[in-house]
Amino acid sequence: MKKLTILTSYIAGILFLVSCSDSFLDVNTDPKAASSEQVQVEYFINSSITGAQMNPHDAERAFVLYWKTAGRQHRVNGALALGSYNDGWTNDYYGSLSRWLRTANMAVSVGQEKIDQGESFAYTNNLIQIARIWRANLMSEFTDNFGPMPTDGFQGENPDFQDVETVYNYMLEELNDAVSQIDPGTPIPTELQRFDKAYGFNLENWIRYGNSLRMRLAMRLSEVDPAKAQSEFEDAAGSGLIITGVEHTFSVQEGGGWNDLTAVMSRQWNAQNLSATLNNLYLGLGGITSERQVPESFQDHIKPADYMGLRLENHLGTHTNDPSAGFWLDGLPHTIDPRAYKAFIIPGWFDNPNFSHFPSWTQDAFTTERNLMDENDEVLMTVEATGHWNAVPLGNWGDKAPRNQLATYTGTTPRLSQRFRSGNEERIFFAGWETHFLIAEAAVRGWNVPMDGKTAYEEGIRASFEYWGTDEYVDEYLQSDSYNRAGTSVSWDHTIEPPTSVTMSYVNGYTSEESNYQFTYPENHLYENGSVKNDHLTKIITQKYLAQVPYLPLEAWNDHRRLGLPFFENPSVELPIVNLPDLNEGNYMESRVSFFPQRLKYPSRLSNENPAGYEQAVGYLDGSDEVLTPIWWANPQ
């Protein structure tokens, strides 16, 4: 029986940026003796998709500490959000991503060799095309994180790096060609379905995913090559087969334990608190009152619509453009997006089945009473935070931070629902709401798409509300003209800009004196120089951002880098932030690209193991190999 020469050379060679001791499949036989029956294309596809689900080690570093932090889907005061990085984390993630890409490449190469040697099945070509579509997704993950990359890499030798524009052109061509070569009339046998944890080798769904992924990547070029973006997008969107319904969702079932399928947000020591970015988008959005959303036991905690909370400027970061900075809401907001209480659980709501008890080895999650200290380290006041709803800005708060035992503590702030931490959900890679929001954006840009912008926008919101189980509110929500704290409303037909300021009430947290406050909507200078807060594109990206919580933080970060939307508040700079040198006391009310992370630095393993490749990659960057150097497709402002 013939041996697969490509497999033998693959195992024997030194693989691109992955040590020889790494293996892509756990087998009990001598790999050099592997026969064509023992090495099938579906094995490689299965290995790559399963690996990319991320074991807890990779997930904590890339998904949680990098993507969720940079995308502001939770609050972590460090790493990328403050311009920093960890070379160890990056080395680990880079190695794993290289392995997933390598295995996807093997699916394509082995499949083609089987065809060439006459050892293929009728459906082998379909498997190759599926592998190509999946490989394009992995390549987009690589280039959107790091920038320049090899399009012919991960095949056993150090390849040439290409600039990001070349990489994007390659991916778009690959997706178009792979989808066109899938033959729906040649199904993949039922007994092989277990080797595709996303779609069970449903060919129509893979076509839908390929077209929708092409739409996503085409839209990424909207600011740097609008003609290319439009052409590719229109072709993919007009194909007739795209992800629209729940049954088309590209997702992988999570589990417990410790393996590649363990839930990506399962590590108990990561509190995953509500971020200030999310909170400013949630508060007031949609016109649905808290009274209708919370149980009787929390009704007394609901505050008036014009109430900011306790003013605690000596204990909270205030040198930021966060419009809620300096206030602690000692209750629940009058009005809030219905998805907020589903995604993040109110402190003290212990009988909520989705209340997260993590970390289970402490009582932190159940401790809701904390202190604020004075300058002499004496207790100034004690706050009981049950039924309080808060998210505080990132940054360097100087002397305020050690005096505040309340604001970032596990039990006193809303934290991610246990729904996403126990291994019972499916990790979503692409859902129908994203397709609809992409179409809505394309319609706003004047492109030729299958439906008008309003219809697509509202369908995206409906799909998100269905996912969260908040359907009862959606019709009313879609008609709402109430502004969130970023100055954006829901209704498509309501594009009136918010007033410059609104009179709110508050209580001085130190003296209990009641007073008024002029709340000012933030100016997001990254979009239309801060002059626009409530146009159609802002609405679309706001809703897309909220819908992508919590499984698509990389896409949230991508949209912010591409458009400067939605509004991300600056970290507070009571003291300078070393890795954000441009942000200071004189400009923290502005929004600038240099205040936000733009990419991952290449890991040291690349410069150590392939110095020529590293120099080539860095040469294609528009700047040095740093976190703050924008990627080619990003907003140049």
Q: For 98-119, what is the mean pLDDT?
A: 97
pLDDT band at 21 (very low <50, low <70, confident <90, very high): very low
% of the chain with per-residue pLDDT over 70: 93
* Calpha distance 397→571 (Å, rounded): 9
Instruction: With a cut of 50, say whether residue 9 has pLDDT above it.
Output: no
**Predicted local distance difference test score (pLDDT) of residue 412:** 98
Picking from 405, 446, 554, the residue whose alpha carbon sits closest to that of residue 63 is: 554
Report, as an integer, the average pLDDT of 431-437: 98
For residue 631, which of 589, 591, 590, 599 has the smallest C-alpha distance?
Answer: 599
In this prediction, residues 171-194 reach a mean pLDDT of 98
Phi/psi of residue 616, each to 5°?
-65, -45
Residue type, 11: I
Instruction: Give the confidence band of 29 by pLDDT, cuts at 50, 70, 90.
Output: very low
* Mean pLDDT score, 454-475: 98
pLDDT at 22 over 50: no
What is the distance between the alpha carbons of residues 268 and 136, in angstroms, rounded to a whole number?
32
Tell whether the model's pLDDT for residue 24 goes beyond 50.
no
Given this model, what pLDDT does residue 60 score? 97
Q: State how far the alpha carbon of 5 is from the alpha carbons of 9, 64, 114, in Å.
A: 6, 40, 10
The residue type at 578: V
Tokens of 362: 């402490």
510, amino acid identity: Y
Q: Token pair for residue 417? A: 């629902």
Integer Cα distance of 490 and 286 in angstroms: 6
| Contact yes or no for 328/388 (Cβ under 8 A) | yes
pLDDT tens digits for 34-92?
555 668 999 999 999 999 999 999 999 999 999 999 999 999 998 899 999 999 999 99
Q: What is the dihedral of CA 207, 212, 218, 220, to 10 degrees?
A: -140
| C-alpha to C-alpha distance for 10 and 104, rounded to whole angstroms | 13
Q: Tell me what the pLDDT averaged over the chain comes to.
A: 94
Distance CA 628, CA 330 (A): 37
> Residues 210, 636, 152, 85: what is their CA dihedral angle, to the nearest 10 degrees?
-100
Strands ordered across the beta sheet of 307-311: 327-328, 307-311, 501-508, 514-520
**Rounded Cα distance, 411 and 389, in Å:** 11
With cut-offs at 50, 70 and 90, classify the pLDDT of residue 525. very high
How far apart CA 262 and CA 255 sit, in angstroms, is: 5
User: Cα–Cα distance between 588 and 253 in angstroms, integer?
Assistant: 42
Section 391-412 average pLDDT: 98
Q: pLDDT at position 79, please?
A: 81
pLDDT at 17 > cutoff 60: no
Quote the pLDDT of residue 635: 78
| Distance, C-alpha 512 to centroid of its chain | 40
Residues in the chain, total: 637
pLDDT digits (tens, 9 = 90+) for 573-586: 999 999 999 999 99
Strands, E assignment, 531-578 = 572-573
| pTM as predicted | 0.95
How far apart, in Å, are the Cα atoms of 480 and each of 239, 283, 288, 489, 494?
Answer: 34, 13, 9, 7, 8
Over residues 280-296, the pLDDT tens digits come to 999 999 999 999 999 99
Question: Any bridge partners for residue 514, and if so which?
Answer: 507
What is the pLDDT, as a whole number, of residue 32? 35
Residues 373-402: what's their mean pLDDT?
A: 98
Tokens representing 540? 């679309």
User: If we measure between CA atoms, which residue out of 268, 199, 254, 215 comes closest to residue 52?
Assistant: 254
